[in-house]
């Protein structure tokens, strides 16, 4: 019988070897699932940030004499900056909203009003609505699905909006306008869908009597451009032309816009990866005990192999290979189990939570559990597991090579 056949025979007759593979499989499955979910969170978060804030953003209110700048000025200043695809003006303002006709709309102190970020864009949110409307005609608005649900609004409902503009002296002047809900949108992020509404930029500009009609410029970069480098180049260019105010940063890439939330998810992914990899290490460490026990029980087989001419190096290779076969079997089963888990996360969530959701949207920011399998992370997981199995197999393999023929064949 060859050494390969002997190894297969050990697998068939010793359940402990299979249990070691199952232990490795459980550790690999857990780590694979955690990495897939955390990578999914990062991918979804990046997509949401870049969809809303672009690859980079210029805060025009931080520039010098910003009330005198036009979009054409920025286009001229940045014409020589490489990597810019488009420049999109955007006007953002905070407002209070409530149902049209409600008594609370006339009282900004009412608890029935909800705060929303009004985002004025050039997107054609209502193609059937005339560009210019009368002072009494409701203006079109698209609202996040979470906000619409929270306010009990449906498409076609009218909404009262109250906002304030600052005065040079005294208190801010209140402004009130009626909007009509023409649709809803979903970004995939619970917090964005709950506190954001999109309106036409020129409507919001007229309502606020805004000097320039935009408060920031969204920068979309080319596919092969690095947003961070483009943001730095824009900042340097604005400083050259004398637009960037001294001591104030005006341009941010999407990672800076992600802020603490993005950094927290990245840190959490790293910490969880380290913690759960120790589970894989503990499972792989069982190979030491499993193979050592196998060596003790199969001393007679080892003695026979030595008597037939097997060298100590070949004995070492046999037991190291046996350990790697156990780990390979565990990795294959673990990846299969992990793949099943990430494709059935809602079912698993109900099992673990007793029918109640564990990943609440108001905490984790998303209305679903995002998943993304990163090939590089999977390959790293497989490589590290095999390396751990190789190292942990060396000790019992070395002990097996030290077995002498006479002692192993001696009757017990």
How do beta strands 158-165 and 196-200 pair?
unpaired
Cα 60 to Cα 216: distance, rounded to the nearest angstrom: 5
Long-range contacts, stretch 354-363, CB < 8 angstroms, 24+ apart: 361/190, 362/190, 362/191
The residue-averaged pLDDT of 191-203 equals 87
pLDDT score of 131: 73
pLDDT digits over 91-120, tens only? 998 888 876 544 444 554 444 667 888 999
- Give the separation between CA 287 and CA 390, rounded to whole angstroms: 9
Minimal CA–CA distance to 48: which of 293, 254, 263? 254
pLDDT digits (tens, 9 = 90+) for 250-291: 888 888 877 777 777 777 777 777 877 887 877 777 777 777
- List phi, psi (to 5°) of 95: -140, 165
SS (H, E, C) the chain: CCHHHHHHHHHHHCHHHHHHHHHHHHHHHHHHHHHHHHHHHHHHHHHHHHHHHCCEEEEHHHECCHHHCCHHHHHHHCCCCCCEEEEEEEEEEEEEEEECCCHHHHCCCCCCCEEEEEEEECCCCCCCCCCCCCCCCCEEEEEEHHHHHHHCCCCCCEEEEEEEECCCCCCCEEEEEEEEEEEEECCCEHHHHHCEEEEEHHHHHHHHCCCCCCCEEEEEECCCCCHHHHHHHHHHHHHHCCCECCCCCCEEEHHHHHHHHHHHHHHHHHHHHHHHHHHHHHHHHHHHHHHHHHHHHCHHHHHHHHHCCCCHHHHHHHHHHHHHHHHHHHHHHHHHHHHHHHHCHHHHHHHHHCCCCCCCHHHHCECCCCCCCCHHHHHHHHHHHHHHHHHHHHHHHHHHHCCCHHHHHCCC
Q: At 31, is the pLDDT very low, low, confident or very high (cuts 50, 70, 90)?
A: confident
Exposure class string for 263-282: b at 16+ Cβ within 10 A, else e: eebbeebeebbeebbebbee
pLDDT tens digits along 32-55 = 888 888 888 888 888 878 887 889
Query: What pLDDT, on a 0 to 100 scale, did the predictor assign at position 132?
Result: 76
Asked whether residue 375 carries a pLDDT value surpassing 80, the answer given is yes
Q: 62 vs 173, which has greater pLDDT?
A: 62
CA 381 to each of CA 98, 194, 385: distance values in angstroms, whole numbers, following the listed order: 52, 38, 6
pTM tops 0.75, yes or no: no
Contact 51, 45 (CB under 8 A): no
The answer on pLDDT for 81 being more than 70 is yes
What is the reported pLDDT for 412? 47
Q: Which residues, at least 6 apart from 284, have a Cβ–Cβ distance to it below 8 Å? A: 24, 27, 327, 385, 388, 389, 392
- The 10s digit of each residue's pLDDT in 161-181 is 888 776 555 566 678 888 989
Average of per-residue pLDDT values in the chain? 78
Average pLDDT for residues 193-202, to the nearest whole number?
Answer: 88
């Amino acid at each position: 019988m060859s050494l390969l056949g002997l190894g297969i025979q050990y697998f068939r007759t010793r359940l402990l070897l299979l249990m070691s593979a199952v232990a490795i499989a459980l550790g690999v499955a857990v780590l694979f699932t955690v990495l897939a979910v955390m990578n999914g969170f990062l991918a979804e978060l990046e997509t949401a940030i870049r969809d809303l804030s672009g690859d980079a953003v210029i805060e025009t209110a931080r520039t010098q004499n910003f009330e005198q700048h036009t979009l054409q000025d920025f286009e001229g200043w940045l014409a020589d900056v490489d990597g810019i695809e488009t420049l999109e003006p955007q006007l953002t303002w905070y407002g209070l909203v409530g149902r049209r006709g409600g008594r609370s709309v006339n009282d900004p102190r009412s608890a029935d009003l909800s705060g929303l970020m009004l985002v004025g864009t050039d997107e054609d949110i209502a193609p059937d609505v005339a560009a210019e409307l009368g002072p009494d005609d409701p203006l079109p608005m698209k609202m996040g699905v979470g906000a619409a649900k929270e306010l009990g609004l449906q498409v076609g409902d009218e909404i009262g909006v109250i906002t304030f503009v600052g005065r040079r002296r005294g208190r801010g002047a209140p402004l009130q306008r009626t909007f009509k809900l023409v649709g809803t949108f979903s970004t995939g992020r619970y917090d964005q869908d709950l506190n954001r509404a999109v309106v036409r930029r020129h409507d919001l500009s007229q309502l606020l009597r805004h000097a320039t009609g935009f408060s920031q410029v969204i920068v979309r970069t080319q596919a092969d451009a690095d947003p961070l480098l483009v943001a730095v180049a824009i900042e340097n260019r604005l400083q050259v032309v004398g637009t960037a105010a001294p001591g104030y940063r005006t341009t941010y890439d999407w990672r800076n816009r992600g802020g603490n939330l993005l950094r927290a998810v990245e840190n959490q992914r790293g910490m969880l990866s380290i913690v759960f990899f120790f589970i894989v290490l503990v499972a792989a460490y069982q190979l030491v005990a499993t193979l050592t026990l196998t060596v003790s029980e199969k001393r007679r087989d080892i003695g026979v192999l030595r008597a037939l001419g097997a060298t100590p190096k070949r004995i070492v290779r046999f037991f190291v290979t046996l350990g790697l076969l156990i780990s390979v079997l565990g990795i294959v089963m673990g990846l299969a189990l992990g793949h099943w888990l990430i494709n059935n996360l809602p079912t698993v969530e109900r099992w673990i939570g007793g029918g109640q959701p564990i990943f609440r949207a108001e905490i984790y920011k998303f209305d679903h559990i995002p998943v993304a399998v990163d090939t590089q992370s999977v390959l790293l997981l497989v490589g590290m597991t095999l390396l751990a199995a190789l190292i942990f197999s060396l000790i019992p393999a070395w002990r097996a090579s030290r077995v002498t023929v006479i002692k192993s064949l001696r009757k017990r």
